[in-house]
Amino acid sequence: MSEPTASAPKAAELAALARTLDAADDLAPVRERFVLDDVVYLDGNSLGALPAHVPDRMADVVRRQWGELRIRSWAESGWWTAPERIGDRIAPLVGAAPGQIVAGDSTSVNVFKALVAATRMAGEGRTEILVDATTFPTDGYIAESAARLTGCTLRAVPPQEVPSALGDRTAVVLLNHVDYRTGRLHDLPSLTAAIHASGALAVWDLCHSAGALPVGLDEHGVDLAVGCTYKYLNGGPGSPAYLYVRRELQPRFDSPLPGWNSHQDPFGMSPSYAPAPGALRGRVGTPDILSMLALEAALEVWDGVSVAAVRAKSLALTDFFLRCVSEYSGPGRVQCLTPDSHAERGSQVALRCADAGEVMKRLIARGVVGDFRHPDVLRFGFTPLYTGFGDTERAARILGEELAR
């Protein structure tokens, strides 16, 4: 292996700076709330780390609530109200007042509910759906299906071109808050305002922003939003997603998936459907109680933590990582796809290199876990609740060593 590109004094300087930054980090104690090891885990933008108290909580759910109380737990253990209770727990993390978020189903299912319901609310003559051209593929698949179902046309548009693409036929626009490949943060306030000015509705996918940065759903008048909980919210693999329905729209929200759990009288077993009031009409069938309660327990790591503090640390971590990568990696070896501007950056750094897949395999073998996106992108997700500056320096240093091979 050739020598790392950074000099020994420069490496020592960066390592010392990392120690200083960690010592001054007010969020550093939160790391102790997670199950972690010596691995530098930079894949929390795919699956968050396990909160340390969740296993004991789930042991009680399984052994006592299910094992002893059994069906009584729907009432006595609060199983029945879990979707809205957990929704209210997520609400402050995305800037929403209580009563507007219901947890349950997958992100894909909730995208479908939101898009079809928004199209039904859009009004006469609104027959076009716009979708983020850089979206995560599933969102595009669901949008195509929703368009076929509702008789709308579908048009893929880059987020920056949405204002000029809007028209009097636009019913709804589906956008990602943060691009999953590049980590680019899109301008939710201005894009939502432009969508509303055209008379259309805005649906935002928050999978890569919730728990990493302020969202401001209520503040910016977002109509509907969806998101997963297994990334920055650390809810566990396959943990339930959530659906946000702005309070003013709730009486008009017409779900394409009405189920007995969203009926105004779920135990009346009526042959005709009458939707429950409020965000509850976003429910469908029986909730996945085990994963739901694991998520509820996981969200306790946010006690005493402000999203503003998380955002400040996220930007500091990604700034430091980019500085370290610049020092440790040879010129031209990688290309940064993530915007330099804080206003346009989420909580990940995406680097392009020709042999990205092999590089990531070698990084993982050396205890630095990020991920690879076809064909040539290295993704590093920074979760401020448990990622430190020492982790960040180590990851960039090992990356530099591997790129120099």
Q: How far is CA 322 from CA 80, 319, 335, 351, 397, in A?
A: 46, 5, 11, 10, 11
328 is known as an active-site residue:
no
Nearest to 126 by CA among 161, 146, 152: 152
Burial 300-321 (b: 16+ CB within 10 A, else e): ebbeebebebbbbbbbbbbebb
- 8 A C-beta contact, residue 299 and residue 230: no
Q: Which of 88, 105, 205, 288 is catalytic?
A: 205
* CA angle centred on 41, ends 229 and 338, rounded to 5°: 75
26 is catalytic: no
- Is 391 assigned a catalytic role? no
* Active-site hit among 31, 113, 231, 397: 231
Catalytic residue (choose from 34, 136, 232, 321): 136
Q: Is 56 a catalytic residue?
A: no
Catalytic entry in 379, 382, 394, 397: 379
Q: DSSP class of residue 112? A: H
Distance between CA atoms of residues 92 and 31, nearest Å? 21
Q: Is 361 a catalytic residue?
A: no
Catalytic residue among 230, 253, 320, 380: 230
> Which of 232, 215, 122 shows the shortest CA–CA distance to 177?
215
Contacts of 390 (CB under 8 A, 6+ apart): 15, 18, 19, 22
**Residues annotated as part of the active site:** 136, 205, 230-231, 379
